[in-house]
Every structure is written in C-alpha cells, then in structure tokens.
Structure 1
Amino acid sequence: MFPKFKAYINKEMPFLKEKKLLLACSGGLDSIVLTHLCKAANLNIALAHCNFKLRGDESDGDETFVRQLASDFGIEVFVMLFEAEKYAETQRLSVQMAARELRYQWFSGLIKTKGYDYILTAHHADDSLETFLINLSRGTGIEGLSGIPEVNEHVVRPLLPFSRSEILAYAESKGVDWREDSSNVSTKYLRNKIRHQIVPVLKELHPTFLQNFLTTQNHLQQSNDLVLNHLNELKSKLFEQRDGDIKISIAALEQLQPLDAYLYGLFKDYGFTEWNDVKDLLSSMSGKQVVSKTHRLLKDRDFLILSEIKNKVSGTYLVHIDGTLSELPIKLKLENVETLEKQGRNVVFLDKEKLNFPLVLRNWEKGDYFYPFGMQGKKKLSKFFKDEKLDVISKDKQWLLCSDNKIVWVVGKRADERFKVDDSTREIIKITQLT
C-alpha cells in the first residue's frame, strides 16, 4: 500500500510535502495507518487527539496509546479533553454531531495558533460510500451524492482512494498496533448500521461494488463541478455587489428554468432551507424577507437583497470636537475650516456655534424627524427613507449625528437646515465620513 500511497501524494497532493501537517489521530486503525504512512513518506506531521470522555477508561487508554505513538516517532502531540455530552445538551445536538463540532473547532484553532497548514484526516473509500448511503437515505441533491471531498479548505483526506480492507491488510502485514473503539460495533448509530448490515450485502452482490461506486462517484463529482461552474458564472452576472450586500433582479431570476433548481443552487450556500418561502418571495410585497442562520433575503421592489446577518452595531457614541474618531462604528473626521466648500453626501459644513459638543452618534429610531437641508419644514425620517428608496437593511445601518437631541446630519445622506452655515456664521466646522 505504501508505494501506492506515496505515488498518490506525489501526483495528487504534492503540496503536502513542504507543509506543516496536523494529523487527527483517534488511535483507531485508520488514523494509525495514516500516521505510519505519513511518517514513512517523510511528511512533516504532528498528532492531534481528542478525548471526549465517552467511553471511560477506554477513552483514556486511547489517549495514552496516541501519546506513546508520538513519543516513539519523535513527533509532537496535542491532546484536548472535551465534555461532549454537556455540549450536545446545551447546543441541542446529537453526541456525534457535538463531538464533530468540538473536534473541528479545536483543529481550526490549532492551525491558527500553532502555525500548521493542513489537518489530515483518515477518511477512506468505505467512509465515502457510507456517507453516500446516509445522504441518499435522507434525501439529497447531486452535491450530497458526490462524496467526501479530498481537500476542503484546510482539511485534507489522503486515504480516500483506499478501501478499509487495504488499510487493514497494510496494518497486519507491518505488525501495526491500533485501538479498537467498542462503539463502532453498535448498530444503534445509522452509520454503523449501514457499515455492518448494508454494505456487506452490496459487496456480496457484486465483488467490485466499492470500485464501481468510486467510478460512479467520480462521474457525479465531475457533473457537480459543471453545475458549480455554471452557477458561479450566473452569479457573476446576476449578483450585483452594493455596499456589502448583494442585489439580484427578480425578473432575471424568473427567467431561469427550472426555477426551483436554480434558486436552490444560487442560494443554498447562504444557509436557506425553506425553499417554498424563498420562491414565494419573488411575488411578495416589498419588505418581506426570509432569514437563515447567517443571511437575510429581502424583497425590495423589483429586486432581492441578500445580506449577511451580523451583530448589529448599536448604541450611543460621543463625538468630540477635533481629530479623526476611529473608535466610532463609522469613521468621522472633524476639522475647523476658514471657507465654505462644496457640500456632499459624505461631507457637511456646519455653523460651529450652533452645535453643543460633544455630539452624539446613534441609530435612527421610530419617530425621528429633521429639517432637510435646502427645504422648509420638518420631515419624518421614515418618510425621508421612503423617498430615498432605502430598504430595511440600509435603514438598519443608518447613523444619525445629533446635538442636544436634534439631528444635525443623517450621515451620508442629508444635513439639517438648522445647523447650516449662513451670513452670521463666525466659525465653520467640516465633518467628513471617511471610507
């Protein structure tokens, strides 16, 4: 197996040879064999072991075994103890999913803090088959049937071309020791049930079933790549970047057929799952929206506005008389000037004596009004926003600069008439919103 492994690394993953690698090592057959293969291939590895304390003394024995292996090989080892059951309860996850989240969060942290380039995991061909069958049983699209990716950002899986039987044969031929996880034989977990009860029957029906599956999955991956290339090209045409958000023409979306498939392909990466709601948004009234855990899709007249949900920056901030105020949620520069220049959306000139410092920067609130520069009389901000055709997302981001509870400037939009420079002005202050 080693010559085949080394050839695979040289051809498909040569980038690993010059990188610092962190190998996820449970102590089981697959990760132990991967450790031996990487060491034989002179890859620069360290081990990372998670002790989830789910199997008592057995879990501690796994930890001891991995520590000893690292010592025998003269490589560094990182070990972390987790309370997976408590995390599962608080996050309302299965214990398996909780362990997975904790594991990968820790791996990502090690990469950042310890200077490693990639995480290596020991997933192999049989794991890919089991994942395929799990996704098939739950209902999925072509992406869910395309298998476990060999490289996914910083996670690399060098054993995917190899079967479990190849890995076992290598370990036995080399006299490699490993730890058996007693939970792997339990069929109360879906993956184990598929592994022990379904896959053996499929392999019995056709001796080359696993190899045939890998060939089919390769075709599916190539088909999925074609779909993704088309969707990315479509996004470059339809998704218009605007102030950190994305604006999409509804008319252009409605021309796509089959519409359901296109909506799924275009928006699935943003966490949406209620696809009927997304489709209904196209014909809804302005202001309607669909929200995922990470993004918001808003109907705004003839467009959909896609925006990332971030922790809203809110509160009240004091703005003092001079200097560039970088500690504010937006960047403002205040300076005394001698002459009046052209005023614009991002620059205002005000009568300094009409202002009471410190000024206050705050979010807009229902009921706010101001006296728009160049106009007579007051206007509610809600009406001003409507005239400016601001959508809900833009309103949420709007800041006001105030003096004694009076709006001085709807920042980036319009100054207030009450604070303008006139013939009686003796001191002029220029305020600039910096990008």
Structure 2
Amino acid sequence: MLKTADIELLKRGKNLLAFSGGADSTALFFLLLENNIPFDIAIVDYALREQSKAEVSYAQELALLYEKNCYLFTSESIEQNFEAAARKVRYDFFEEIIYEHGYTNLLTAHHLGDRLEWFLMQLSKGAGCAELNSLKSFTRKEDYSIIRPLLHVEKSELIAYLESNSRRWFEDETNQDLSIKRNEFRHLYVTPLLQKYKEGVLKSFEYIDSDTDELIEDVDLLHQKELYYFRRTSNLKSDIYHIDKVLKQLGIMISSHVRDELKHADEIVVSRKYAVCKTDDHIFIAPYFLHVNMDKEFKERCRVLKVPSKLRTYLFLNQEILETIASL
C-alpha cells in the first residue's frame, strides 16, 4: 500500500507520526511497522469528547507495546473557529517536538478522499491551481518535511486493511455531522465520486502535480520569532502560494478577496492579525499592531531602510529583528 520510493525515503529519516486513533492514522501506524520504518507518535487531546480519553489511552498502549515514544498534548478549550485554531494547536505541538528531538519528517495519514475533499472545497470558494493542489504528498518546511504517504489510497482500502488484520480503531462521531462543511463535502460529493471515478481522479492528480511543480518556484522560508520572510520569486502566483502556506500555518485561511488584494497591494492586514508586506526583493509576514507609539529615531531609521509601514509596529516591539531587515 505504501509506495516503494516512500518506504526508502522514510527509512532514511527520523519520523514522527501524527496519530489520532482514527482509521487513517491507525492504518498508517501498522503499515509503518510492517515495512520496518522507524517512527514515534504524537497525539493531541482537545478534550471535547468523552471518547478522546480512550483514543489517548489506545495511542499510549500501542506505543508501549511496539516500543515507540508517545507525545501527548492536551489543548485548552477552543471557543471559536475550531478547525483553523485546532490545526494551529496541533502543528505548533508537532513542531515543538520536532525541534526538541530532531525529527526530520512529520507523517500524516491524509488519504485520497482528504485530497479530493480539499480540492473541491477550495474550488467552491475560488482558488488558483496552486491552492487547489496545496495538499501534496511532500511538503518541505524550513527544518523538516511533511510527508503524506497515503494520498493515493482510498479510505475504504484503509478500513479493509484494518479489518483484515483485526486492528482496532476509533470513529469520531462528529464525522457524521453534515453541518460541518468538510463532512458535507465528504459524504455528499467525495465518496460518490471516488466510488465511480477513482482511477480518473488519481490520474488527474498526477497531471496536476506535474503542472503545479512547473508553476510554483521553491523559496527558502526563514523566520525570526514571529516574523516570516522569503525572497520574492519571478511569479506572483508563486509568491501568493507561499504567503498562503505561512498564514495557514498560523491558523488563518485566506479568502478569494484577500488573494485578489495580494495581487495588487504591497501591504495588507489579514484577519486584523497579520501584516503581509512586499518590498522590491522580499515578502514579510508578521503580527500587526495598530496602536504603538514609536519614537522619531526609530521612524527615521525605518524610513531610510524603506521598511513597509504596516511592519513597523511589530519591529518597534522587537527591535533586534530590525537588524535582520537591515541586513537584507
């Protein structure tokens, strides 16, 4: 079920599996074991469902049985915008473990249905080629890679694999709630499409991957504290793609309106939280503060360095970072 190239890649790395106890991550857990791929697991408990305690216990049992490290984080209550906020909590936790323990790969159990679901959700709200195809099998981050080795596999195959091997897994009851947008897409559109047109969908994603690789230029994404920056590419669509990736990592999903703004404006504020600023050579993303009293000397230095105005309040509160800007 795992591709030979992925098996060889993962055997060379130090792998952390994002585990939930659901069918997808449980199947990937046992597939990694079968292929003698080294890994440890990490699980987040959002403490919203009684079942989550059993899921955490299951993760710890598997880790003990198969001699894996199991990292657990219990999230504080999330009051609003749960999907985006939970994603940020999850990935902040994973990155903390990765940096502390030197993991080179973060493995997630996204499958073909997840990929098609994401594609259709982006398509429905207005997106370009890069955004439609942003859920890919390999994503390079600054210090590690995110690898999704099941993107070519349908969920029904994962469940059949678990059942044939008498493996236990948990079903999140909220997955049946059609008032949640991703569930609506999954049940009403994704599942019927894959049941009839799986091979065609797989082939289309192969073509889209090839086309996207030609469209998007790689960048070295750097950061210092909460400031993220990269050198502009020769392609505006490529720049917007990387901006979108950073904001998504920060828990913000940008709208088609914001994408249009990014095409024309050199400085914008997204969700009243982050400033996105373009200079001739670089793009900067940093927290935005509206009311900060900056002294004249600092303002003058920013003027001389041509620091974008919406970036200045953050730099005033973190003046050591201004030296990074000056060096660019």
Query: Structure 2 length normalisation: TM-score?
Result: 0.73
Map of 2:23 onto structure 1:
29
Unaligned runs of 5+ in 2: 220-228, 245-253, 313-326
Per residue, is there more strand in 1 or in 2?
1
Map of 2:70 onto structure 1:
77
* Matching residue within 49, 53, 70 for 1:60: 53
Cα deviation for residue 213 of structure 1 reads 0.8
Cα deviation for residue 52 of structure 1 reads 0.4
Map of 1:269 onto structure 2:
242
CA distance in 1, matches of 2:194, 2:298: 66
CA distance in 2, matches of 1:174, 1:64: 21
CA distance in 2, matches of 1:70, 1:245: 39
Map of 1:377 onto structure 2:
none
8 Å contact kept, 2:231–2:281: yes
Map of 1:220 onto structure 2:
208
Cα deviation for residue 145 of structure 1 reads 2.4
Per residue, is there more helix in 1 or in 2?
2
Cα deviation for residue 306 of structure 1 reads 4.5
Map of 2:307 onto structure 1:
393
Cα deviation for residue 310 of structure 1 reads 5.8
Query: Structure 1 length normalisation: TM-score?
Result: 0.57
- Per-residue CA shift, 1:173-232, capped at 9, x if unaligned? 11111111111111111111111122343345xx3x122111111111211122225x98
8 Å contact kept, 2:277–2:308: no
| CA spacing shift, 1:70–1:187, aligned 2, 3 Å | same
| CA spacing shift, 1:13–1:152, aligned 2, 3 Å | farther
Map of 1:40 onto structure 2:
34
Cα deviation for residue 266 of structure 1 reads 4.3
CA distance in 1, matches of 2:238, 2:99: 32
Aligned runs of 1:332-371 on 2, under 5 Å?
Answer: 364=297
8 Å contact kept, 2:117–2:185: yes
| CA spacing shift, 1:306–1:155, aligned 2, 3 Å | closer
CA distance in 1, matches of 2:176, 2:188: 11
| CA spacing shift, 1:393–1:200, aligned 2, 3 Å | closer
Map of 1:211 onto structure 2:
199
CA distance in 2, matches of 1:48, 1:73: 14
Alignment RMSD: 3.6
* Matching residue within 277, 290, 303 for 1:296: 277
CA distance in 2, matches of 1:310, 1:170: 45
CA distance in 2, matches of 1:214, 1:20: 29
Letter paired with 2:267:
V
CA distance in 1, matches of 2:151, 2:122: 18
The total of aligned residue pairs comes to 281
CA distance in 1, matches of 2:287, 2:259: 23
CA distance in 2, matches of 1:105, 1:245: 21
Aligned runs of 1:85-164 on 2, under 5 Å?
Answer: 85-86=78-79, 88=80, 94-146=81-133, 148-153=135-140, 154-164=145-155
Letter paired with 1:75:
K
Letter paired with 1:162:
V
1:185 corresponds to 2:176 = yes
Map of 1:308 onto structure 2:
284
| CA spacing shift, 1:164–1:138, aligned 2, 3 Å | same
| CA spacing shift, 1:70–1:201, aligned 2, 3 Å | same
Cα deviation for residue 247 of structure 1 reads 9.2
CA distance in 1, matches of 2:282, 2:201: 38
Unaligned runs of 5+ in 1: 89-93, 233-243, 254-261, 282-288, 299-303, 317-361, 369-380, 398-433
Letter paired with 2:284:
E
CA distance in 1, matches of 2:85, 2:159: 28
Cα deviation for residue 147 of structure 1 reads 5.2
8 Å contact kept, 2:278–2:284: no
8 Å contact kept, 1:295–1:306: no
| CA spacing shift, 1:151–1:13, aligned 2, 3 Å | farther
8 Å contact kept, 1:129–1:147: no
